[in-house]
Structure 1
Amino acid sequence: MNFMSIKDASKKRPTIRDVAKVADVSVATVSRFLNGKTQKMSDQTAERIRVAIKKMNYVPNSAAREMARNSSRIIAVLAANIADYFSVEIYRGISSRVEEAGYISVLLNSGSSLTHERQLLHSINQHGFDGLVFQPLTSDTEQVAGELTRDFPVVVVDRDLPRSTWPKVVTDNYEAARSTTEYFADQGFQRVVVLTSTIELASTRIQRFQGISQAASTIETIEIDENNFQPDAVYGALKKALSRPGKCLLFALKERWLLEFLPRLMKEHVIDEARTAVTGFADTALIGSICPYAKVVSQNPFLMGQRAGEILLQMLKGKKNIPEESVIKAQFKH
């Protein structure tokens, strides 16, 4: 049995010229059809081209089409850390919107590393993405703008970049944290143990901490360096803080840390419902399964992603007067 080589097979692949010949039209007419420019084309001509394409199993050269219309139809989504359910849900929301409009979304992961984020931004500058939805690790606008030098549509999600010209989709972090802390303070949980990644690196954490500070009498903060995470050391500090006399509220600024430490705290009876209230920003049902009396703040990251995708599509269409900020309100489930 003789098999065609890859080289031979490529010679047999139909071209746009072959389609034009079978449909009895010009190559330019087939090109217009492939790019959706059929307004001035008769129904009979369009049908002949459609039949020829189907008959010959013709697959358009996507790279050539991208060059012709100066568009890749690919959207980059740069997430802070896909180890967090929140970031993954944002991506799902974005994809649900842009794919409806014929775009493909590509997920890139900074992995909580500023160095890796800079590398990815450099790569985005060099490649032909049509737009970017960005969940930055830092709130330093000048630093981000210095790295992202390409002039194309950008939407920032889950971060506040002061003086940035890019539209943003955020949660009402300050108010959600303040009102939640106040709810527990009214029940006698005046002392708060805040469990968080490094606060100063992200606007979301800064705003949440400010909200807690506004309503709490006493705050003890346990900050985690995600690039040098030492679980036993963090657990030791957390256990010590939660074991002090009197009622206290454990407030995690990220769901990941509740998932990391709650099971062990429950197992070793470090916390109980009478002495310790548990809350945090969380968007899955897992926290309630681990700690039935926990009451969490849900941000709806899928909806945030959808909104970011919608704004990016509007920008790609050239729409003006895009809102500078879109706020998706968090919900305290109590």
Structure 2
Amino acid sequence: MKTKRKKKRPTIRDVAALSGVSVATVSRYLNGKTNKMTSATAGKIKEAITKLQYIPNSAAREMSHNKSMIIVIVVANVADYFSTEIFKGASRKLEPAGYVPVLLDSSADHSHEQKILNSVNIHGFDGMLFQPLTSDTELIKSELTRNFPVVILDRELKRSPWPQVVTDNYQASRNATDHFVDEGFSHVVVLSSTIKQASTRQERFQGVIDRANDVDVIEIDEGHFDHQEVYQRLAAVMQTEKKTVLFSLKERWLLEFLPRLMQEGLISKTNTRVTGFADTSLIKSICPDAYMISQNPSYMGERAAEVLLKMLDGDNREIDDIVIKAQFDTDDDE
């Protein structure tokens, strides 16, 4: 009686043959060294890997034991306190459950994020917490081809196949703007990273413009910006007789520019208000009169990790998105 021969696992040579390139080229692709590779070549290799269901040896060893017990946490930019606090919060839940969390940083660069996701696709992580740079669900799906448990953080994606943990960005921003408009501060200067890039910023910005009629916007490219040039643009719109609110959609930019604005007398207690989304108490230390919208990124990381652990335990029920309310700090709260 003939025994059924076990199907041979595809090798790197099979990938090279199907994509029409050398083994060395496939190896460079697998190691993320695609700088000198055309997009067409990379696409052929990716297609061959998908078609053959090829798994590199390192991942195969992990898969033979069913679990690696490693969770990858991909954040948008570790320069932001928000991102590192997400990691800390998630770690508090993952480590007691026996998982090792690993932090990867996209550095606010989409091409770098693509390389990270390519690495995630081919290595044996058990799950991922992901703070993507974009809010384009279809783009993320095309880049994240591996089918494993994923939770999205800090981005509200339309028709997302993954559960999400987010802040009530629109309502928090709208409530803060309402407060200042009611006090007679009709002019708002919005300071932000590129708004269209992320749903978080889009929602926060919408909350401002739905209530304020006189809005100036200073947008900053996180990857490439001239500090002096941005400051000069900001100072120009702050030099006004109007009662003005400086509204930063991200704490980092107040930390960058607020001290100099104060030093040069562009922040007046009677004619100016400072607000924005904050993850630390640093802004209040710099400007005690600031009215900040406090997030809790550590708690967001904890909740996201809890959802991921349920998925890893085989809970395949549809999980509702989790919305965590931000807290607007005013004198009335004291």
| Shorter-normalised TM range | 0.7 to 0.9
Larger CA Rg, structure 1 vs 2: 1
The Cα shift of 1:325 comes to 0.7
Aligned match for 2:68, one of 65, 72, 77: 72
* Paired amino acid for 1:206: Q
Aligned match for 2:296, one of 300, 318, 321: 300
Partner of 1:108: 104
Alignment of 1:10-25 (within 5 A): none
Partner of 2:184: 188
The Cα shift of 1:322 comes to 3.8
Residue 210 (str. 1) matches residue 216 (str. 2):
no
3-state secondary structure, aligned to 2:73: strand
Higher deviation after alignment, 323-332 or 194-203:
323-332
1: CA distance, partners of 2:103 / 2:178: 38
Query: In 1, are the aligned partners of 2:137 and 2:157 still within 8 Å (CA)?
Result: yes
Partner of 2:37: none
1: CA distance, partners of 2:203 / 2:255: 22
3-state secondary structure, aligned to 1:223: strand
1: CA distance, partners of 2:168 / 2:60: 44
Q: Deviations over 1:129-184 (max 9, x none)?
A: 00000000001111111000000000000001111110000000000000000001
Query: In 1, are the aligned partners of 2:294 and 2:328 still within 8 Å (CA)?
Result: yes
Residue 136 (str. 1) matches residue 132 (str. 2):
yes
Q: Deviations over 1:68-126 (max 9, x none)?
A: 53100000000000000001101111111111100000000000000000000000001
1: CA distance, partners of 2:60 / 2:291: 54
Aligned match for 1:281, one of 273, 277, 286: 277
State percent identity of aligned pairs.
Answer: 57
Query: In 2, are the aligned partners of 1:181 and 1:215 still within 8 Å (CA)?
Result: yes
Partner of 2:220: 224
The Cα shift of 1:226 comes to 1.0
Aligned match for 1:262, one of 250, 258, 271: 258
Aligned match for 1:233, one of 219, 229, 239: 229
The Cα shift of 1:245 comes to 1.7
Structure 1: gaps of 5 or more residues:
1-62
Structure 2: gaps of 5 or more residues:
1-58
* Paired amino acid for 2:93: R
The Cα shift of 1:323 comes to 2.2
2: CA distance, partners of 1:82 / 1:324: 28
The Cα shift of 1:299 comes to 1.2
Q: Deviations over 1:264-284 (max 9, x none)?
A: 011111111111100000011
Q: Deviations over 1:24-71 (max 9, x none)?
A: xxxxxxxxxxxxxxxxxxxxxxxxxxxxxxxxxxxxxxx999455310
Partner of 1:331: 327
2: CA distance, partners of 1:275 / 1:290: 18
* Paired amino acid for 1:228: H
Aligned residues: 273
1: CA distance, partners of 2:145 / 2:160: 13
Query: In 1, are the aligned partners of 2:62 and 2:124 still within 8 Å (CA)?
Result: no
Aligned match for 1:309, one of 302, 305, 312: 305
1: CA distance, partners of 2:106 / 2:61: 31
Query: In 2, are the aligned partners of 1:311 and 1:322 still within 8 Å (CA)?
Result: no
1: CA distance, partners of 2:154 / 2:231: 27
Query: In 2, are the aligned partners of 1:166 and 1:324 still within 8 Å (CA)?
Result: no
Query: In 1, are the aligned partners of 2:63 and 2:124 still within 8 Å (CA)?
Result: no
* TM-score, L = length of structure 2: 0.80
1: CA distance, partners of 2:159 / 2:219: 27
Residue 197 (str. 1) matches residue 193 (str. 2):
yes
* TM-score, L = length of structure 1: 0.80
Query: In 2, are the aligned partners of 1:304 and 1:328 still within 8 Å (CA)?
Result: yes
Higher deviation after alignment, 225-234 or 120-129:
225-234
* Paired amino acid for 2:88: R
2: CA distance, partners of 1:261 / 1:193: 13
Query: In 2, are the aligned partners of 1:208 and 1:253 still within 8 Å (CA)?
Result: yes
Query: In 1, are the aligned partners of 2:152 and 2:165 still within 8 Å (CA)?
Result: yes
3-state secondary structure, aligned to 1:77: strand
Cα RMSD between the aligned structures?
1.5
Partner of 1:11: none
